[in-house]
Structure formats: C-alpha cells, structure tokens
Amino acid sequence: MTERALAVDAWESLFRAQVAVLRQLTAEFPTTEISFTEYDVLFNLSRAPEQRLRIRDLIPHLLLSQPSVSRLIDRLASRGLVEKLPDASDARGTIVALRPEGYALFKRVAVSHIDAIARRVGSRLSPDELVQLAELCRRLRD
C-alpha cells in the first residue's frame, strides 16, 4: 500500500470506530436530565481553569457550530447549570462558568458514563494499547 492509501485506510478505521463508539455511548447515556452534548459542555468546563471558558474557546472542543453552542449555553444557563458572564478583557466576549449545580450534575452523571466508556473502550484494548491510542490521538489533534 502507498502512504496515501495507508493514510486513507487509517482515517476510515479511526472514523468508523469513533462513530460506532459514540453511537453506543450516546445510546447508553445514563440520564435524561441532560443530553450527551450538554454533558460535553459541562465536562469541558469542569476541566477548564476556574471552571470557566470564553465561548470562543469552548467551541473548538465541541462538535457543534457557534450558533448551536450559543443556544445550548442559553439552555444550560436557563436551568442554572452554567452562568454567562461578560468578559472583562473583551466587551464582545462572553465567559461561560460552571455553576455548583452544573458541577454536581456533571459529577453524578460522570460516574456512570465513565463505567460505559471503560466497558466500551477499556475492555477492548490492553492498558498499553490504551496509552498508545491516547498518544496517537493527541498527535493527530496537535
């Protein structure tokens, strides 16, 4: 196989695996309190410094367009899970901060969601393969 053909084959394998795993994890998502996508926002905010991010810094971590992210943030804010704050360094920017209620919900859901991830991903690969997969994915992202 040529390098190009190998790259295409690797991409197809990665893409198909991602779709299959994401579908299964979405189907097994442990709650109806929040959606899988809302959970992803809470997850990203939980890992951010001071549990807050500018919307423009949150968008690259999500699989949604900017208008969709803005509507999603508005829904989470209306439920008291996040708070929208003005950005003191840029009057045009908005900061999204995880509220204690949002963090508590995230933690409660994460316990079951992590179990599903461990079953779907962790049970299929050895610890060394999981380390290698994580490193390869980081290299692809960078």
Q: CATH number of the domain at 21, please.
A: 1.10.10.10
- Pairing of the two strands 90-98 and 82-87: antiparallel
Q: Given this model, what pLDDT does residue 33 score? A: 92
Does the model's pTM come out above 0.85? yes
pLDDT in tens, 49-104: 999 999 999 999 998 877 889 899 999 999 999 999 998 888 888 999 999 999 99
Name the DSSP class of 124. Answer: T
Q: How many angstroms separate the Cα of 80 from the Cα of each of 55, 67, 70, 98?
A: 17, 20, 15, 9
The CB-based long-range contact list for 107-112 (8 Å cut-off, 24+ gap) reads 107/46, 108/31, 109/30, 109/31, 109/33, 109/34, 109/39, 110/43, 112/30, 112/31
Do the beta carbons of residue 86 and residue 19 sit within 8 Å?
A: no
For the chain, count helices (H), then strands (E): 6, 3
Q: Given this model, what pLDDT does residue 91 score? A: 80
**Total domains, the chain:** 1
Residue 123, domain extent = 3-141
